[in-house]
Chain A
Amino acid sequence: SYVLTQPPSVSVAPGQTARIPCGGNNIGSKGVHWYQQKPGQAPVLVVYDDNDRPSGIPERFSGSNSGNTATLTISRVEAGDEADYYCQVWDSSSDHLVFGGGTKLTVL
């Protein structure tokens, strides 16, 4: 089965740039989506199809995807960005939806 690998945690100071990687075999050939989840809340889609943003999501959130790594980039990080972030793909070979294990973003 297809596996997505994320680091358990990433830390960044306010105003700096956070980069959260998501590794998978030839993930560059798939569309990657990213979700933000704050404690006690449902996930929220922040980036879809590698680098598109739903309406209402700040331009500070962007994504890239190439080779074996997709990356969520959050520019000018704010305290309110502190959350868990999950990457997700649809694996057409198994007809299964796959999530990464999640990354906890800490704003120092």
Chain B
Amino acid sequence: QVQLVQSGAEVKKPGASVKVSCKASGFTFTHYDINWVRQAPGQGLEWMGWMNPNSGDTGYAQKFQGRVTITRNTSISTAYMELSSLRSEDTAVYYCARVETTNMDVWGKGTTVTVSS
């Protein structure tokens, strides 16, 4: 079935980087953009950026410019989101989602990233 499978939970120290993976199955990976969205504890959804897996083109939310990098490996249908210079406020659940025109119709289950010294 159509799904996005994300990597497991991470615990990082302030200043470190984290790289979350998102493996697509059940559909052609290069036919759909991928968005990354995060949700801090008790907070709303926050868009981080997008990637076109076919071209590798990316776009990032202004808030994360310079700190986030979205990449892909088409041979294994996997997208990656790397966030650097982590701080406690980056503690959140990170989701990848398949983009259908401008909405997100398939979501991963989320990856919990905890930033703590």
Contact = CB atoms under 8 A, between A and B. Distances in A.
Interface class of chain B by DSSP: strand
Interface string B10-22: 0000000000000
B9 interface: no
B29 interface: no
A79 interface: no
Interface string A78-102: 0000001010111000111111111
Interface string A36-51: 0100001111001100
Nearest to A47: B103
Contacts, number: 59
DSSP majority for the A interface? strand
Interface residues of A, number: 26
B103 A44 contact: no
A43 B107 contact: yes
B47 A98 contact: yes
B110 A88 contact: no
A89 B45 CA distance: 13
B80 interface: no
Contacts of B107: 42-44
B105 A97 contact: no
Interface of A: 1, 31, 33, 35, 37, 42-45, 48-49, 54, 84, 86, 88-90, 94-102
9 contacts: A31-B102, A31-B103, A35-B104, A43-B107, A48-B105, A54-B105, A86-B44, A99-B44, A102-B44
